[in-house]
Amino acid sequence: MSTGEEIGLPPEHTMIGALGVYTETQEDGTVRGHMAVTDRILQPYGLVHGGAMLALAETLASHGTWLGVKDDGNLAMGQEINASLMRPITKGTVNGLATPRRRGRTAWVWEIEITDDEGRLCALVRATIAVRPAPSP
């Protein structure tokens, strides 16, 4: 797991660890990530819980924003998120691709595509990530 290793709590002690989220930053500024479909991310009917998909999406967008603002002494945290859940995922891997749409001084806006292992679009998410000064140590 890469998200969060550099700051704060160890990832295994956070939502990232609980869901089994892995991230990878691309050279073009996008962030890819995935999590295995396990019982812990399913809702009672055997489908990946929409909240788990949104947690993956926000993780990717927050991580990408943080990478872009950390050298200026800033943190990144979710401010707003909305999603259209279009297709269920029941097995395999939940994949996410986050693309920055606006990199502002106080907020970044991202579009995140959630796909299954066949590359089918399962959710389309838009997230706004707030940029705030890091607290003094």
Q: Are 132 and 105 in contact (CB under 8 A)?
A: no
The tens digit of pLDDT for each residue in 13-35 reads 899 999 999 999 888 899 999 99
CA distance 137 to 107: 23
- Which class for 61: exposed (0-12), middle (13-18), buried (19 or more C-beta within 10 A)? buried
The tens digit of pLDDT for each residue in 33-59 reads 999 999 999 999 999 999 999 999 999
* pLDDT band at residue 136 using 50, 70 and 90 as cut-offs: confident
Query: Measured in whole angstroms, how far is the alpha carbon of residue 57 from the centre of its chain?
Result: 3
pLDDT of residue 34: 98
* pLDDT band at residue 69 using 50, 70 and 90 as cut-offs: very high
* pLDDT band at residue 137 using 50, 70 and 90 as cut-offs: confident
The tens digit of pLDDT for each residue in 80-125 reads 999 999 999 999 999 999 999 999 999 999 999 999 999 999 999 9
CB atoms within 10 A of CB 97: 17
**Looking at 5, 6, 27, 58, which residue is catalytic?**
58
pLDDT of residue 10: 87
Which residue in this structure is represented by tokens 């859940």?
85
CA distance 66 to 16: 15
The domains located in the chain, with CATH, are 11-133 (3.10.129.10)
Residue of 38, 31, 42 lying closest to 127 (CA atoms): 31
- The answer to whether 58 is a known catalytic residue is yes
pLDDT surpassing 80 at residue 79: yes
